[in-house]
Amino acid sequence: MLLSSAPIGSEIFASICLIVISLAVILVLRYYLPLRTTPAYILVPIFFALALPTSIVFLVPIDLASNAGTDDGTRGIWLQERTLLVSWRITYWLTFGLTWFILPILAEFSDAGHRDVQAKLMYSLRSNAKYQAMVFGSGILGLIYVFISAGVTPTSLKGLIMALAYVWGLILAIYLMGHGLVAIPRSLFRKANISESLRRIQASAPKIHESMDDSIERLEVLEAQVMLLSQRKSGTAMHFQEWIEELGELCNLPESRPRTTSRRMSIPAVSVPTVITENYLADLTRSLTRARHKRIRYMDEWDRLVQNSVATQAILDSAASKKLEIGASSPRASFFERLTIFTPYTRYLYYYHMVPYMRILFAGLLSVASVCIVWSEVIKLVNSNLSVISRTVVHHPNSDRGQIGFPGQMIAAGWIFYMCAAALTSMTEVKVWRGRALVRRNTGYESAFWYAMQVARLSVPLSYNFMTFLTPDVYEKTVFYKFLGKLINLTPLGTGFDYFFPIFILIPVSAALFNLYGKAKRMLGFSLDDDSDDEENATGYGTGGWREGRDLIEREVGGSASLAHLRNPQNGAGSSSNGPAIAASNLASRSTAAPRVNSSVRPHVNETGDEGFFGSG
């Protein structure tokens, strides 16, 4: 039985948490989307799709501690049972509605390509019809089983809806989390070795450069189609003249063009149909929008790769002089970005010595955390008391209620955050999501909706899965279990799935740990970027190896340095606007004087005045 009234301190703390979460979500939206130009129907749903799942990270620990009752131990932050129940209802059902209905419809609506709102809505509904039909089809089969097992009641119907959403979310969450639990520590371990990190960056350069070239060529083909359409002044094209003019303006936007010294000499050979229809223009608009975002994505990815490469090279070069220099601050940088803390020598100590050891330390800690999570997933079937996570959260095992104090709440929030971070990190690394990607200030609306939908879909299953790491006498008394857990365990199949399926986390963990993905690709004959390519091919050319990537980066940097010198010949390399540019000029001086590869694909770097890899300090 919960206490009759919650202390004012807990209510204030919960309110502060909501404010902090809201501000953090706004900053995330600002990082990936232009807030001033993004419509409200896009920003508001995405805001709630991120804020509501994030609040679960704090709501679960509060729910756990609220069962402390009148025991003698420290209760931590706790709330009334009624307050918790209302919070869970609002959080769950809003998240459910956003995940399964609102966000999918708005995602296709933003990607429709039509000009008319009604046409966009009809396209969105048709696109979601197959998806919803599959969902309802599986729901009918589940409904028959639930009605046979639990009877025909409103509770069984609600339990079916919640259980199906939980099952689908848990399947995806377990796979992604298992991959991320290995990928995050391994990435930190690899980055701790500066020279190997540089080689790995160079090895990925050919593939990214090729993808960037392909995306630009695809966009030029679509732009050529728009150019041909704009030249038609008769026939069916006259009925859509205003639409065609808008497409022409879209192709000629300044931000849609890469910074270049020369355009391509040849115009792609394209053709347009004799009869222009609304569906054709809608498909062309949709393809053009996707191609622009794809081109921006790979240009941004190439920019960051070049920036990281020259910065890493500068760190390696600083070993001889014991100094690491950066350039002058950008004129558009803020006061804090202009503030310089490190001297060249202390900057060298920090980046060359301290950062690698810090990465090794964090990688070791996260590796232990990953092992604890996997162990807890497996051992809870045998005995929850052997769960490491349960031991770190429940600090009063002798209490009749398994009391959890404030330190236990903070640790529980940390566990949930790491589990969610592992799953979401895997989502950004696995490139099987129809080309969707998060790009700073240029994320496509459909991609933003899709990633927000996945955040909302994964949060509830991962949070409830975390609670099952604890002993039943602890989590079965929570409001979360009474609200969701009882309905999941309404049938024997639901109970068995909830306990047995998480063991399959061993599959993605083993696949990532022993590189089974790479072995499977080699068995199937797919090309694979692997470090072993360097041993098989001593030159590294013709295989997309690190030597080819190094040459591409050096030519890119050399061309950028030459262009900067032509634009401002009175200034030397020391007048660069960011730190990596200094490293770029140093790298260019060591590279061959070969001409740039595809100079027309050079993106605009650091338009927002960022200080690059080293920051301002």
Dist CA 415 CA 409 (whole Å): 10
pLDDT mean over 285-314: 94
408-446 per-position pLDDT tens digit = 999 999 999 999 999 999 988 776 677 789 999 999 999
Dist. CA 110–CA 38, nearest whole Å:
11
Is the pLDDT score of 72 beyond 50?
Answer: no
Q: CA nearest 17: which of 68, 64, 61, 75?
A: 61
- The separation between CA 528 and the C-alpha centre of its own chain, rounded to angstroms, equals 23
- Please give the average per-residue pLDDT across 164-174, as a whole number: 92
Long-range pairs, 35-41, Cβ under 8 A, ≥24: 38/445, 41/106
State the pLDDT at residue 611. Answer: 43
Average pLDDT, the chain: 82
266: pLDDT strictly greater than 80? no
Match 């496509």 to its residue by tokens. Answer: 444
pLDDT confidence of residue 431? 65
Lowest mean pLDDT among 108-117, 200-209, 484-493, 504-513: 484-493
Q: What is the pLDDT of residues 323-362, one digit of tens each?
A: 988 765 555 555 655 667 888 999 999 999 999 999 999 9
Q: What is the pLDDT of residue 236?
A: 80
> Got the DSSP string for 433-463?
STT----TTT--HHHHHHHHHHHHHHHHHHH
Give residue 213's pLDDT band: very low, low, confident or very high (50, 70, 90): very high
The structure tokens 């002044």 sit at 233
Q: Residue 396: phi, psi to the nearest 5?
A: -130, 70
For residue 559, what pLDDT is reported?
Answer: 77
Cβ atoms of residues 466 and 412 within 8 Å: yes
How many residues does the structure list for the chain? 617
Q: What letter does residue 350 receive in the DSSP assignment?
A: I
Whether 396 shows a pLDDT value over 90: the answer reads no
- What pTM does this model have? 0.85
**What dihedral angle (degrees, nearest 10) is formed by the CA atoms of 6, 8, 11, 17?**
-140
Please give the full DSSP string across 65-117, using - where no structure is assigned: HGGGTT-SS---S---HHHHHHHHHHHHHHHHHIIIIIHHHHHHHHT---SSH
pLDDT given for residue 587 in this prediction: 42
Concatenate the DSSP letters of all residues of 571-585 into one string: S-GGG-SSHHHHHHH
The 10s digit of each residue's pLDDT in 544-589 is 688 999 999 999 998 766 655 555 544 443 333 334 434 444 444 3
pLDDT of residue 341: 83
Residue 80, sorted as left (phi over 0), alpha (psi -120 to 50) or beta, turns out to be beta
Instruction: For residue 40, count CB atoms less than 10 angstroms from its CB and return exposed for 0-12, middle for 13-18, buried for 19 or more.
Output: exposed
What is the average per-residue pLDDT within 492-506?
A: 87
Residue-wise pLDDT tens digits, 235-255: 788 888 899 989 988 886 444
Distances (CA, A) of 558 to 24, 81, 371, 567: 39, 65, 45, 14
Cα–Cα distance between 124 and 316 in angstroms, integer? 52
- Complete DSSP assignment for 366-426: HHHHHHHHHHHHHHTTT-GGG-HHHHHH--BTTSTT-B--HHHHHHHHHHHHHHHHHHHHH
* Pair of tokens at residue 321: 């002089």
Average pLDDT over residues 531-536: 42
Residue 536 has pLDDT above 90, yes or no: no
DSSP string, 119-185: HHHHHHHHHHHHHHHHHHHHHHHHHHHHHHHH-S-HHHHHHHHHHHHHHHHHHHHHHHHHHHHHHHH
